[in-house]
Amino acid sequence: MSDPYTRAAVTYSSYLKLDELLSLQQPRSGGPEHDEMLFIVIHQVYELWFKELLHEFDGVRRLLENDEPYRGQHTLKRILTILKVMVAQLDILETMTPLEFLSFRQRLEAASGVQSDQFRQIEFLLGNKSEQTIRRFPEGSRARLALERRYAEPTLWDAFLRYLSREGYAVPQSQLTRDLIARIEPSPDIQQILIEVYRHDTKNAELCERLVDLDEGLQEWRYRHVKMVERTIGARPGTGGSSGAAYLRETVGGSIFPDLWEIRAQL
């Protein structure tokens, strides 16, 4: 243990590691181009939010595993609030005109948000896993190790189904022991259970609604991101090698928890 008489007192700056943090924004353009700073800061802020989201998602899953639905709902509410802030932050980036972006775009070379491992970790946690994605990251790297771990873990939906089963719902064994790597496919059995939950079980219906909020919130981010991309680079291909907005448009509108959407017409 350090000696309290000789140890330097914790300050705002030392606690937050401000010197390190504030040295991490390094524009690549000569000059440098004014708007590159905004571009770097906003991406770094997103990565910090992704980190916090992953931390909170781990928390929700743990709370469901421990049969604490009220605290789980509370944490989901925090996640949704963060998501709203993340969507709103795109407004700031939209103040950058196409020409301002083009002034430094070639400096990004092949760098793109498509390579964000934390974004992929969130997708894995929500059931959209891919071995191909893992292979894009160097073996032994922080990103690859994190993705490998999340690949093998139960998704948030798995934790939810197991929780429902312990609440007394007849979740089929095939769902409780489903392949954790497989996509979450619609299931008529689960839909029947969810209809029962919505009709007779306010506590768990509220939990379901928060999951729908989450699903919708992520779709909202995708939609706003593609609109921002369209207004900034139009039909140009992405720096990450995709067709750009055309590729991104295909990712909008897909639901994370299909059963929660399917039942709407049957309630």
Tell me how far CA of residue 146 lies from CA of 42, 128, 157, in angstroms. Answer: 23, 15, 19
- Of 19-27, 74-82, 241-249, 256-264, the segment contacting ligand HEM by CB under 6 A is 241-249
Among 195, 205, 233, 252, indicate the residue that binds ligand HEM (CB under 6 A): 233
64, 160 in Cβ contact below 8 A? yes
Tell me how far apart the alpha carbons of residues 56 and 75 are, in angstroms, rounded to a whole number: 7
| Smallest gap from residue 175 Cβ to ligand HEM (A) | 27
Query: Using alpha carbons only, what angle is made at residue 239 by residues 233 and 243, rounded to the nearest 5 degrees?
Result: 70
Q: d(Cα 124, Cα 251) in Å, to the nearest integer?
A: 15
Of residues 34 through 63, those in contact with ligand HEM by CB under 6 A are: 42-43, 46
Stretch that binds ligand HEM, among 5-13, 165-173, 176-184, 224-232 (CB under 6 A): 224-232
CB 47, min distance to ligand HEM, A: 7
Report which of 219, 208, 250, 206 is spatially closest to residue 86, judged by C-alpha positions.
219
Of 215, 197, 193, nearest to 206 by C-alpha is: 197
CA distances (Å), 160 to each of 165, 191, 210, 211, in order?
A: 9, 14, 12, 10
| Binding footprint of ligand HEM, residue count (CB under 6 A) | 23
- Those residues whose C-beta lies under 8 Å from the C-beta of residue 193, and which sit 6 or more positions away, are 164, 169, 170, 171
Identity of the residue, 163 or 221, whose beta carbon is nearer to ligand HEM in the bound complex: 221
Q: Which pair of tokens denotes residue 77?
A: 């509410």
Under rule CB under 6 A, residue 163 binds ligand HEM: no
CB of 108 to ligand HEM, least distance (A): 9
Report 172-211 residues binding ligand HEM (CB under 6 A): none
Q: Which residues 104-133 are close enough to bind ligand HEM by CB under 6 A? A: 112-114, 116, 119
Q: Which stretch binds ligand HEM (CB under 6 A): 5-13, 167-175, 177-185, 236-244?
A: 236-244
| Options 60, 64, 76, 93; binder of ligand HEM; rule CB under 6 A | 93
Contacts to ligand HEM by CB under 6 A: 42-43, 46, 93, 101, 112-114, 116, 119, 225, 229, 232-233, 238-242, 244, 247-248, 251
